[in-house]
Structure 1
Amino acid sequence: MLKQRHNVNIQGAGDRTLVFAHGYGCDQNMWRPVADGLVNDYRTVLFDYVGFGGSDLSAYDSEHYANLDAYAQDVVNLGRELSLTNAVFVGHSVSSMIGALACTAAPDMFSDIIMVGPSPYYLSDDTYSGGFTHVQIDEMLEFLDANHFGWSEAMAPQIMGNSDRPELGQQLTKSFCATDPQVAQDFARVTFLSDTRDILPNVQTRSLVLQCRDDIIAPESVGKYVHDKLPNSVFRLLDATGHCPNLSAPDEVIAAIRDFLLDDLAHDE
């Protein structure tokens, strides 16, 4: 059963289903503050990717999960088991691109995709600025390989931002440290070395790009790039800062999701 493999939790009984997908080093708990605020109006689906949270770690295979397509296929397979149609995919960070791949693979499954802090490519080249140099990515991956816990304690607070609220950085650190070191190393390479820029023009799904200020992982210019490349997207710059508004500013994320989906409903009427 895929529900057990991915530790699926379903709540609510609305007409629309929202599928929340977590980012690197996290699990479904990162989405609970947002999902709990929407459960009275929507059916919410929370799950863990294989290797994270309460998923079946025995199902993890480094070779199989060496690219984002494998994670996207898991999303599609899970969606089929849940008989999803006209659903909304809500992805944080790298899950935004996993969602894009899933939407192109199963266009009838998701009618909307919401991307929070998306980045299709973290490196910079002659025509694109992803925020990181090759040297920076190599050094980060080497640090992670050598000292998973040290890397987590150093990077999580920076990724979270909101230094005036250190408990948020501590929460993300705890999540990073709870991840199996081998899975963390593998998924870091998949995340930071993947290039999904070419897939964006193929995403016909109605899309919302939610961007934070002062995001060291996905700068504002990257969010605008994603918006520009998606055929049918809305861009919204949140007042939130850092890379994890689902934890630091859940009420703002909830409001943005509601506005987007209500606008969709208004168009349908």
Structure 2
Amino acid sequence: MDLRRRHHVTFAGRDDAARSLVFAHGFGTDQRAWAQIWPAFADEFRIVLYDHAGAGQADPAAFEQHRYLTMDGYARDLNALLDELRLQEVVFVGHSMGAMTGILAAIARPEQFSRLVGIGASARYLDGPGYRGGFSEADLNALYRAVTTGHDAWAEQFAPVAMGNRDRPELAEHFANTIKRVPTDAILTVLCSIFQCDYRQAVQRLQRPLLLLQTRNDAAVPLEAAEFLHQAIDGSTLRVIDAEGHLPHISAPERVLEALQDFVRAPG
């Protein structure tokens, strides 16, 4: 299958731009999550947006459960997509699982990337000895049970916690509705691939500049997890932005743009 159709790839910006800016969304969203971010770079970059398998308008047949039991499947998709588009040394911006997708893809194929931005990124969500990922085994077991017994009800509970910004309930409502569109079996597979992963050793092999953006209050990724990632990756930069919630590119796009624009536009 044509990977552009498989992942519902869309383009914006300048077709003749010397550099490409690739965006990868996080769990429960799709490429539309970047609608308030990419236009700021449209005059300088070729913009590439796509949907992960199992999300948005990606071809439903693309989601094969055995392929996406870990984040590595999404990283292989990204590498293959960049090959099909014949893109090298891209500037990459990813959110949450999208951020880890980019990091793993850049470790496997460093020539495809020049620099990366990770928003709300984590190498490990499960707590462990000397490490705070934000979730205990009991937390995750309860989460999986809740999804299995009531997909829509769980989405309505999870969305406000992840989004934060309780004074703007329309943000969480929109997020919950996008989660509800994903079939329950696909939701469980994606959640397992995210929450059961442990890339704390793997991320140390990244050899490209990385900017980590973290909000001051993220229910999904505590600051300690972001700090671990920063310390594990040589040459990375961690910026805590004045925003809350796990999806600041949606809830506080002006803060995200302020934090990433110089990094994205830097030469090389």
- Report the TM-score range of the alignment, normalised by the length of the smaller protein: over 0.9
Q: Residues 204-243 of structure 1: matches in 2 within 5 Å?
A: 204-243=207-246
Task: Give the structure 2 partner of residue 101 of structure 1.
Answer: 104
TM-score when normalising by structure 1: 0.96
Counterpart position of 1:261:
264
2:12 aligned with 1:11? yes
CA drift at 1:36: 2.2
Query: Which residue identity does 2:216 align to in structure 1?
Result: R
- In the aligned structure 2, how far is the partner of 1:16 from the partner of 1:257? 16
Check whether the contact 2:91–2:113 (CA below 8 A) recurs between aligned residues. yes
1:157 is aligned to 2:160: yes
Distance 1:19 1:261 in 2: 11
Task: State the alpha-carbon separation in 1 of the partners of residues 22 and 183 from structure 2.
Answer: 24
2:47 alignment partner, one of 39, 44, 62: 44
| More deviation, 195-204/13-22 | 13-22
Query: Do 1:38 and 1:254's aligned partners in 2 also have CA atoms closer than 8 Å?
Result: no
Taking the aligned partners of 1:243 and 1:35, their CA distance within structure 2 comes to 19
2:75 counterpart residue number: 72
Whether the 8 Å CA contact 1:129–1:222 is kept in 2: the answer is yes
Displacement of 1:37 after TM fit? 2.4
- Asked if 1:116 corresponds to 2:157, the answer is no
The residue aligned with 2:3 is 2
1:82 equivalenced with 2:57 (yes/no): no
Secondary structure (helix, strand or coil) at the match of 2:238 reads: strand
- The separation in 1 between residues aligned to 2:109 and 2:148, in whole angstroms, is 35
Amino acid at match of 2:261: R
Give secondary structure in 1 for the equivalent of 2:191: helix
Taking the aligned partners of 1:147 and 1:38, their CA distance within structure 2 comes to 40
Partner secondary structure for residue 88 of structure 1: strand
Output the CA distance in 2 between the equivalents of 1:91 and 1:69: 15
- Is the contact made by 2:107 and 2:205 (CA closer than 8 Å) also made in structure 1? yes
Offset of residue 132 of structure 1: 1.0
Which ranges of structure 1 fall in alignment gaps of 5 or more residues? none
Q: 2:185 aligns with which of 169, 173, 182?
A: 182
> CA-to-partner distance for each residue in 1:115-170, whole Å, 9 max, x for gaps?
00011111111121101111011111111111111110110111000001111111
State the AA in 2 paired with 1:80.
Answer: D
Q: Which ranges of 4 or more aligned residues in structure 1 deviate by more than 3 Å?
A: none
What's the TM-score once normalised by structure 2's chain length? 0.96
Partner of 1:135: 138
Partner of 1:59: 62
1:253 counterpart letter in structure 2: V
C-alpha distance in structure 1 between counterparts of 2:264 and 2:50, whole Å: 21
- Contact 1:100–1:199 (CA<8 Å) still a contact in 2? no
Is the Cα–Cα contact under 8 Å of residues 54 and 186 in structure 2 kept in the other structure?
A: yes
SS of equivalent to 1:118: coil
Cα pair 1:5 1:55 within 8 Å, conserved: yes
Inter-partner Cα distance in structure 2 for 1:201 and 1:179: 33
RMSD across aligned positions (CA): 1.1
**CA deviation string 1:197-239 (max 9, x = no partner):** 1111100111000000110001111111111111111111111
SS at match of 2:79: helix
**Alpha-carbon distance in structure 2 between the residues aligned to 1:246 and 1:179:** 21
Check conservation: 2:7, 2:50, Cα contact below 8 A.
Answer: yes
Q: Distance in 2 between matches of 1:64 and 1:227?
A: 28
Structure 1 SS opposite 2:92: strand
Could you list the per-position Cα deviations for residues 86-136 of structure 1 after superposition, in whole angstroms to 9, with x for gaps in the alignment?
101111011211111100111000111100001111111112110111101
Query: Does residue 266 of structure 2 align to residue 247 of structure 1?
Result: no
Match of 1:91 in 2: 94
Other-structure match for 2:196: 193
Alpha-carbon contact 2:162-2:245 (below 8 Å) kept: yes
Structure 2: gaps of 5 or more residues: none
Q: Say how many residue pairs are matched.
A: 265
